[in-house]
Amino acid sequence: MALTLRSSTSFLSPAAHKPTTTAGDDSPPPCCVSIPSPPPSATRRLRLTRAAPVEHLEAAPESAILHGGGGGGGGHGRRKGTPVYVMLPLDTIGAGGKLGRGRAMAASLMALKSAGVEGVMVDVWWGVVEREGPRRYDWEGYAELVRMAEIAGVKLQMVMSFHQCGGNVGDSCNIPLPPWVLEEMSSNPDIVYTDRSGRRNPEYISLGCDNVPVLKGRTPIQVYSDFMRSFRDTFRDYLGNTIVEIQVGLGPCGELRYPSYPEANGTWRFPGIGEFQSYDKYMRASLQAAALAAGHEEWGRDGGPHDAGQYKQFPEETGFFRRDGTWNTDYGRFFLGWYSGMLLEHGDRVLAAAESVFRGTGAALSAKVAGIHWHYRTRSHAAELTAGYYNTRHRDGYAAIAAAVARRGAALNFTCMEMRDQQQPEHAGCSPELLVRQVRDAARSARATLAGENALERYDAAAFAQVVATAASARLAAFTYLRMNKNLFDGDNWRQFVAFVRDMANGGERGAALPSCDTEQSDLYVGFLDAAVKRAAPEAEAAAAVV
């Protein structure tokens, strides 16, 4: 049930009210229920106490159906318009497992709620939760955030982030994989993705060893399953009501793809084609077996094409990706079929584990696919191919992805919803609009629920209008905005964002322009958050200060 804020006063019950501290205070805000000390067990599993009923909040009509109604990812309800979520900062729960800037977060959640935002998305970092050792889980910081969200009346999309943070577009902090996993990488470097020159990428465990016990006696799939099972058991009472969606991390940046365009150390630069990531010993063994089965043992000897170029090159500079290149030969079709097939199998394995864990909890599942729009207008679609999406001028690579996601009852979450073709550099061969349209059609054909995100942080009217139009035409189940930070709460940006949320809720039917002040509390979430306005409330100053 959606909740609507009707008062600009504190949303705390009188019994919970405590003296206000300064906006810069990082101690937990008064709206947080104290966290009980965890029992002295290896899992450090917490029993969460439900927060007291929230006062001063009025229930909205039952017609306001939440995104993610069914258990295990099914039953995404429909309502007029598209609910908007907002991504929280990447370091909301820091490397030590603590929720930082608690007062600012509490004020920010209240402000987002007042603007009509449905909820927020947060990364649940594997490197944070299981940092102390195998099966030793620390959920304390996330428990505090969940209770805070419940009190504010906002929903949560929680991402099972089995990847490293750092080294990609938008990464503002560094959160590596758990130390004990890094130790395993040091002793066995082949458990991470590897390119043709032997460069190792520690962002995510190579899918080539999904079913090999390379993590202290467990397979990566078993480790992911145990992690999700501990999460489910800890937050069972919140699944399906406060926690409405579980996005399952399937690769770098949480996306179902290979790390083919890493920005770390200048390895890749837009609009480079990227490189294939099939050179660790486990991927090589799989390729050799596939080549032998196809009756061409020689196709599996090198680990990948010898003429595919380098990260920063353009398609026509290579033998493999050029107009009439190797990609369109028998060998090219074999290799691309194997490479993309391995990615699909990996996604299915992890989603199957998630489906088993979260079935019957009421929380929906989703999987994220990257919007790789550069070189889309070429025949080979080189940048998509190196990422594992076998999509070319002659082949629809997203139909199989949408079908695989739908088979597990998950929503397909796609990026670059804010982009227009005319805004892209001509030499890059971009077409984000055609790409979004193709993915939309693939989702419809597969009867998969489609949700979206923006790829870049933007606050301009053109970007918001593009999202509104796309959401209406594609019937998006939800849209998650990137990202909550100080810029979002800037006066002009905030005003544009509030209007955007309203337009999304109206299904693209734009209403009258938002006045600077009116009698319906719109001034609450415009002037309320402008820290430069001296009459702003203390909570607004804290919200404007969050980074």
Q: Active-site positions?
A: 255, 453
- C-beta contacts of 520-527 below 8 A and 24+ residues apart: 521/5, 521/6, 521/8, 521/114, 522/498, 524/5, 524/8, 524/114, 525/111, 525/114, 525/115, 525/494, 525/498, 526/491, 526/494, 526/495, 526/498
Q: Is 200 exposed, middle or buried (0-12, 13-18, 19+ CB in 10 A)?
A: middle
Which uninterrupted H or E stretch holds 85? Answer: strand 84-87
Q: Tell me: is residue 483 an annotated ligand-binding position.
A: yes
In whole angstroms, what is the distance from residue 81 CA to residue 411 CA?
17
Q: Tell me: is residue 368 an annotated ligand-binding position.
A: yes
Q: Kindly write down the DSSP assignment for every residue of 500-512, as one continuous string.
A: HHHHHHTTT---S
Contact call for residues 141 and 93 (beta carbons, < 8 A): yes
- The number of CA neighbours under 13 Å toward the Cβ of 510 is 14
Pair type for strands 200-205 and 192-194: antiparallel
Contact call for residues 90 and 123 (beta carbons, < 8 A): yes
Q: Tell me: is residue 163 an annotated ligand-binding position.
A: yes
Contacts of 230 (CB under 8 A, 6+ apart): 43, 45, 135, 137, 139
Contact call for residues 358 and 225 (beta carbons, < 8 A): no
50: Cα separation from own chain's centroid: 27
In whole angstroms, what is the distance from residue 396 CA to residue 405 CA?
16
In whole angstroms, what is the distance from residue 312 CA to residue 318 CA?
11
Q: Kindly write down the DSSP assignment for every residue of 314-332, as one continuous string.
A: -GGGSTTTSTT-GGGSHHH
Q: Provide the H-helix boundaries in 99-174.
A: 102-114, 126-129, 140-152
Q: Kindly write down the DSSP assignment for every residue of 349-394, as one continuous string.
A: HHHHHHHHHHTTSS-EEEEEE----TTTTSSS-HHHHHHT---BTT
Pair type for strands 57-59 and 3-5: antiparallel
Give yes or no for a cis peptide into 483 (omega within 30° of 0). yes
In whole angstroms, what is the distance from residue 381 CA to residue 364 CA?
32
Q: Which two tokens stand for residue 233?
A: 């058991």
Q: Tell me: is residue 415 an annotated ligand-binding position.
A: yes
Q: Among all chains, which residue has been given the structure tokens 């993915």?
A: 439
Three-class DSSP category at 240: coil
Q: How many CB atoms lie within 10 A of CB 324?
A: 9
Pair type for strands 84-87 and 410-414: unpaired
Rounded (5°) CA angle 273-276-277? 135
In whole angstroms, what is the distance from residue 138 CA to residue 126 CA?
10
Phi-psi region of 429 (alpha: psi -120 to 50; beta: other; left: phi over 0): left
Q: Tell me: is residue 480 an annotated ligand-binding position.
A: no
Q: Binding site for substrate: what residues are annotated?
A: 123, 163, 171, 368, 373, 415, 454-455, 483
Q: Binding site: what residues are annotated?
A: 123, 163, 171, 368, 373, 415, 454-455, 483
